[in-house]
Copies of this chain bind each other. A is one copy, B any other.
Amino acid sequence: MTVMEPVDWRAALPWPAIDAHKHARGRLGVVSGKATQTGAARLAARAGLRIGAGVVTIFCPPDATAVIAPAIEAIMLTPFGSDEALAEAAAELDAMVIGPAAGVNDATQANVRAIAGTGAAMVVDADGLTAFEGWPEDLFEVLDRDDVLTPHEGEFRRLFPGLLDQDREAAAVNAARRAGAVVVLKGAATIIAAPDGRRSVNGNGSRWLATAGSGDVLAGMIGGLMAQRMDSFEAARAAVWMHAEAAQAFGPGLIAEDLPDRIPTVLAALYSQIG
């Protein structure tokens, strides 16, 4: 597997047309965890907004409303009380991120299934993956080839027991086929694999990304590109590279809050390269 370069996906990046408006540019949703655990969703949402989704909405349990509302401005907020309500609220979205700090429980499972039933492409991360430990087929059967799973190795083992006995590249490729979705196996050399056999390994991984919340930002970045109708495999490739590029430019002392506000610099460099 060859190491990917920006040239591999740069032409697929979405840029707003001169006459774009925010809704045309793409609508992203992010599902928040409970009231004490909303930071992950806020990180993902801000990353999705920064990377170009025109409208970003956080969907939260009703008791988390008071926590999130004072902390957002351009990001919108919709409380939901059940998986049915979530599905209904999500009906107009282009993409949805679920998993960061969502909780490992039945409600998260139900929420993933509810979103899968809408037209929104889905990024499933963190607790959204672990909630299906022991029942991975329940997840796979609702996934679409435009959906993306973003496990680190621990989460990967829970969904794909045994696959990491092979090398990481083969494991990711097989996982994508099995899940019927794009798989992003995170690590020093993150693997991105699509169910149609496309695969890529990232070469600019940064040690500084080993910090709480950096995965939430990545999920938001992928979702933000998908909301702009970028092909999911390409979105994952681009986001993984940009995420690491932002981290590496920052260097020691990076925390996840730094990442969303570094996206403009990375985007500007890529934008200048497309002439």
Contacts and interface: CB of A to CB of B under 8 A. Distances in A.
Interface size class of A (residues with CB under 8 A): 35 or more
Contact of A19 (B70, B188, B265): B188
Interface string A204-233: 010110111110000000000000000000
A42 B73 contact: yes
Nearest to A214: B22
A76 interface: yes
B54 A211 contact: yes
Interface in A71-97: 71-79
A18 interface: yes
A25 B76 CA distance: 32
A210 B22 contact: yes
Given A36-B79, A37-B76, A188-B19, A25 B210 contact: yes
Given A17-B207, A36-B65, A251-B267, 20 more contacts: A15-B252, A16-B210, A19-B187, A22-B212, A25-B211, A37-B76, A40-B73, A46-B255, A49-B211, A49-B255, A66-B67, A67-B69, A67-B70, A70-B70, A74-B257, A76-B212, A252-B268, A252-B271, A253-B264, A253-B266
Interface of A: 15-22, 24-25, 35-40, 42-43, 46, 49-52, 54-56, 65-79, 152-153, 187-188, 205, 207-208, 210-214, 250-257, 263-268, 270-271
